[in-house]
Amino acid sequence: MENEILQNKDLKKTKKIIFTTILIGISFFLGLLVGVSNSDNPNFIHGEQKGELKNKKAEAPDYLSKNVDFKLFWKTWDTIRDKYIDSSVLDSQMFYGALSGLVASLNDPYSIFLPPDTTKAFNEELEGKFEGIGAEIGIKDEKLTIIAPLPNSPAEKSGLQAGDKILAIDQIDTSFMTPSQAAQMIRGDKGTTVTLTIKHGEEKEKDITITRDEIYYESIKTSTGNAQTDKLLNDKNIAYIKITNFNQDTEALFEKAVQNAINKKYIILDLRNNPGGFLTTAIKVSSYWVENNIIVKEVSQNKEKIQNFSSNGVAKLKDKKTVILVNQGSASAAEIVAGALQDYGLATIVGETTFGKGSVQDLTKLSDGSSIKLTIAKWLTPNDRAIDQEGIKPDIEIKISDEEYNNNKDPQLDKAIELLQ
């Protein structure tokens, strides 16, 4: 069906028929909090008791139990058209605002409607290049939070850390912002600035002004960036692989990294500050360790269906003693990899409890270039541990203090090296 935007008032009747059909089609699923998995990319991930999901249903007011009366929608539409002071507002603005409101009514920060320009920016980010500050953001403890700054990005260079709360963007309060709304405000042209009001731990809030830049990154690194540390790793026969995102270039780059790792005795897989990416990529990476077994389980929102995703390919690294580094900036696909290898005893997890973004988003592309991203399921590890809200708890918990961070100390990596000696 063509979702045309009709701006000609002479076509008002036709416009109502088409738009009402769209609303009915989308609204059918609102109460169930599920979406139709007809995306061109159904394997995109982009954040309870053991083995079951909590059903968090708030008591709904009486008016929500009544049948939907679409006359109210058109009465509202016509009232705005007849009375609103600014008559220059386009029908298309109201149309896209209504679509955004539909998805926002789910009260899920990871389910969003993306208009064409935002969809384009979103796709560019998945390709590993865009302009902005280079930070993944989400909701944690009901606050807008830095999930992870990207390596060598303006965000990282400014001192932003995983777990920092964003209280305001250019002095605008973020209390009721979704991650998508915040990202639109933070993103911008190279050379321009944005000021974030940040609260780090128990410290007083402070303003950090960041100059935006072109962000381009490869998702795999095989060097720590410290010549002395890299020499130590080489001397101890340890292969170091850092995955910054599970993006479009990850599989090919990881295969190259594995060719080097095969000649080493031990492996450190660094998933710190990795905000996630594609499910298929997480499965492919896990398959280098997990042989012929489940990587992750997908549980639908109505709990009637559990789908198992299993390893594929040759487990070339299954006999390599491995340590995985994680922190609170490790999310989504990174948690899937860490959780699977931990469940099978194929790796020792070192660091901090991960972010806890264990939900599945389906991306549906629309004919006008816009898209809908809907949460359709939750993830469980092979041993039925819930990832969402819980995160992956490390086998050995080690935190990096502010003093250590500021002095480029890395006790988590030091512990990994110690374990592999």
Q: Could you list the active site residues? A: 332, 343, 357
Contact of 330 with 271, CB cutoff 8 Å = yes
Q: How many CB atoms lie within 10 A of CB 77?
A: 18
Cβ neighbors of 299 (< 8 A, separation 6 or more) are 53, 305, 306, 377, 378, 379, 380
Q: DSSP readout, 205-257?
A: PEEEEEE-EEEE--SEE---S-HHHHHHHHHTTEEEEEES-B-TTHHHHHHHH
Identify the bridge partners of residue 377 per DSSP, sorted by sequence position. Answer: 300, 360
Q: How many CB atoms lie within 10 A of CB 32?
A: 10
Contact of 242 with 254, CB cutoff 8 Å = no
Specify the DSSP class assigned to residue 84. Answer: -
Provide Rg for the chain, Cα atoms: 23
Distance CA 79, CA 76 (A): 5
Distance CA 19, CA 17 (A): 6
Contact of 343 with 395, CB cutoff 8 Å = no
